Amino acid sequence: MSPRWGVLLAVALVAGLIGAPIPREAAAQPSARCNHRSWIAGSVDLCGGVLIYRDYVYDDYGADEGRPGAQSTAPLSNPAGDKRYAEDVNSADLVDLSLRVVGDRLHVTFELNALYNPASTVAALAIDTDNDRSTGGGEWRDLAVRSEGWDVLETFDVGDPATNVIKGHIPLPPGDRWRLQALTAIKAGPVMNVAFRGTNEETTVGTWWEDKQAAALREGDISQFGHVVDVADMTAGVTRPAQETPGLHERVYTSRYTMKPGEGMSYEGRFGRHGDTGRTCEQEFHFFGRYQPYGIYIPDNAGPHGMQLAMHGCSANHASLIDQPGMQQRLGEEVNRIIVNPLGRGPYGYYSDISERDVLDVMRDVHRNYDVDRDQVFAGGYSMGGYGAYRMAMLYPHRFAGLISWVGFTGDCLNGPAQQRNSCPSGAIGNVINYVPNLRHVPSAMLYMGQDELVHMSSWHEMNARFLREGGPYAFYKHPAGDHFTLALADDWSKEARYTAGRTRVRNPGRVRFRTRSFLGNERYNIAHDRAYWISKIEGRRKTFIDINARSRGCGWDPPRTRIVTREGPDPVPWVAEIRKIVGHKDARRRAKLRMKLDNVRQLRIDTKRACLADKRIDYWIQTDGPVTIRFSDGRRLRFDSFGRYSGALKRR
């Protein structure tokens, strides 16, 4: 457990529970042979002779001068550095630095996360031309830092806000092997960001992968940060992508979506769709630009790997939980999963709207860049992240093999009698208790604490009751003596790892229960919850719940036989569990038969191959509360114009 937790828990307890897309063209890149849209932070590539350093993002907090309570955006998102911008926030946050040899000149390009004013930022490059740290070096002029060895020091202070780039060129320095150093600073103030820090920056003091940077800037000596390059590799056009190593990293991807003003971040943030309601932990976003970071833990084991989402709680960020040895061992190494922690555009996104878009894009980025078994993807999260885990698994059940929710918020503080529900939703978009039937094929491990001061017993007790009535396989762990932070502090995760180990995604179940609602999505960010398994293109007639209960006998539907058992154990504090296990399946003969009960469904589409309904004749029984059109992927269609129960045979021509 990182030491910062003990300092921050009291603050977190006081804090409580927890624009249209503006795509921007990426700055011109020197080579198409390297991946410029996604990278491990701190890495250095050679791409066609161009040296490119790709930095951590939102790590521009300067020196650690020991100021108490210096926050980035929230109590559990503290940086190690405690410098702040007076204006032009995030304008000295280095994204990447590229160096290209052209004739007798060295061309230098610094790309920043934001650059509102062309004269707000200064960038500096130092070159040790003989790669000998015992010669040269000294103070970086008026930048209040020093380092060993450099022979050439150049500063660049005029940028282009249209591209967020500061660039220039200098005479080609002498030497065959250079050691490079670089930084960015506020024009009239301190150094905020140092380059060439490697891929193993630390998150022990802060949570933004800038501990080493903050400590070095406090001492005023950045000699430890640098990169050695053979000049011949640059002049010969060598391509040598950075090699990734197992372990904990920050990864950065390029999003198609931004929020106004389209770049940078805000300490205060922008409220979500509820606006400012005055509640603690309202939906709020802080990080606006196209470059978005996430935490990733890569196990030592060979692939294919599973993927475990570990979404952070309210006021935390993408280093939360994932930076702990227990989680890395239990949910990474022992079950061979890549652990992923999205930032979610800030500490209060509730994994809805652009925060949900971030989770979807992070998952896509992991799939594109790693050997991941898509049948071994697990939702998971803590507190607000537990709400996100429920929400993702319920609204995309066909994507997940299982779910882990640690002290998960349900979307409402009470969840008592029906008339009390949704009376204190905080920043949630939807109460996940309403969507429990969607998890029929997603085994769910839920862990709650009897003395939780933030997610109260009245909230999760109703979740337990709903799973008992309508859920699929599940394990509901109750820890009578624990509070909200017990599981995080214990860093154990053993029983939930065991429960989910070996599970695989159900692809084409015989029965599909799916509830959705249009307000849960967001057209602006291309989010629609309109499919589950072999049913897609779901549309409702009214702005209320859309309910589908469908059965296909085409694949030999095998309804499960289940049994409720109880268990108990000591880890990390004593617990009792209610577990619904599948103990067998009833035999059901294969028949081309479809049965559906539809409420508020205007239309949907059935994939006949995945539902095993490609026969020439399909016997159907449909109950609908109004007009509906059912389209099949092979071109057949059923149309009913009013409420009723309909049966018959659908033949293929």
CB–CB of 302/372 below 8 Å? no
**Checking phi first, is residue 444 left (phi over 0); if not, alpha (psi -120 to 50) or beta?**
beta
The SS3 of residue 403 is strand
* Residue 247 structure tokens: 């372990």
**Checking phi first, is residue 211 left (phi over 0); if not, alpha (psi -120 to 50) or beta?**
alpha
Burial of 273 (0-12, 13-18, 19+ CB in 10 A): exposed
| 453-494 tens-digit pLDDT | 898 888 888 999 999 999 899 999 999 998 999 999 999 999
pLDDT of residue 20: 36
The distance from CA 629 to its chain's CA centroid, rounded to whole angstroms, is: 36
* Residue 490 structure tokens: 């214990």
Cα–Cα dist 622/612, whole Å: 18
Is the preceding omega at residue 174 within 30 degrees of 0, hence cis? no
DSSP assignments along 188-199, one per residue: TS-EEEES---S
Is the preceding omega at residue 246 within 30 degrees of 0, hence cis? no
Cα–Cα dist 216/43, whole Å: 19
pLDDT of residue 69: 59
Cα–Cα dist 359/352, whole Å: 9
How many other C-beta atoms are found inside a 10 Å radius of the C-beta of residue 480?
11
Q: What secondary structure, in 3-state letters, does 512-539 show?
A: EEEEECHHHCEHHHCECCCCECCEEEEE
pLDDT of residue 27: 31
- Work out whether the CA dihedral 523, 529, 534, 539 comes out positive or negative: negative
pTM of the model: 0.93
| 175-219 tens-digit pLDDT | 999 999 999 999 988 999 999 999 999 999 999 999 999 999 999
Single-letter amino acid, residue 235? T
List the chain residues with pLDDT less than 50: 1-32, 417-421
| 540-564 tens-digit pLDDT | 999 999 999 999 998 876 778 899 9
pLDDT of residue 4: 46
CB–CB of 436/470 below 8 Å? yes
* Sequence-ordered list of residues with C-beta below 8 angstroms from that of 32, at least 6 positions apart, any chain: none
Q: What secondary structure, in 3-state letters, does 34-95 show?
A: CCCCEEECCEEEEECCEEEEECCCCCCCCCCCCCCCCCCCCCCCCCCCCCCCCCCCCCCCEE
- Work out whether the CA dihedral 279, 282, 288, 292 comes out positive or negative: positive
pLDDT of residue 425: 63
How many other C-beta atoms are found inside a 10 Å radius of the C-beta of residue 67?
10
The SS3 of residue 234 is helix
- Work out whether the CA dihedral 455, 456, 458, 461 comes out positive or negative: positive
pLDDT of residue 66: 86
Pinpoint the alpha helices (H) of 162-289: 211-219, 231-235
In terms of Cα–Cα distance, which of 100, 98, 114, 101 is closest to 54? 98
* Residue 453 structure tokens: 């001061």
pLDDT of residue 422: 52
How many other C-beta atoms are found inside a 10 Å radius of the C-beta of residue 499?
20
In terms of Cα–Cα distance, which of 269, 246, 411 is closest to 338? 246
Q: What are phi and psi of 230, to 5 degrees?
A: -85, 125
* Residue 2 structure tokens: 């990182």
DSSP 8-state symbol, 266 = E
* Sequence-ordered list of residues with C-beta below 8 angstroms from that of 622, at least 6 positions apart, any chain: 594, 595, 596, 598, 628, 630, 638, 640, 645, 646, 647
Cα–Cα dist 403/400, whole Å: 7
**Checking phi first, is residue 131 left (phi over 0); if not, alpha (psi -120 to 50) or beta?**
left
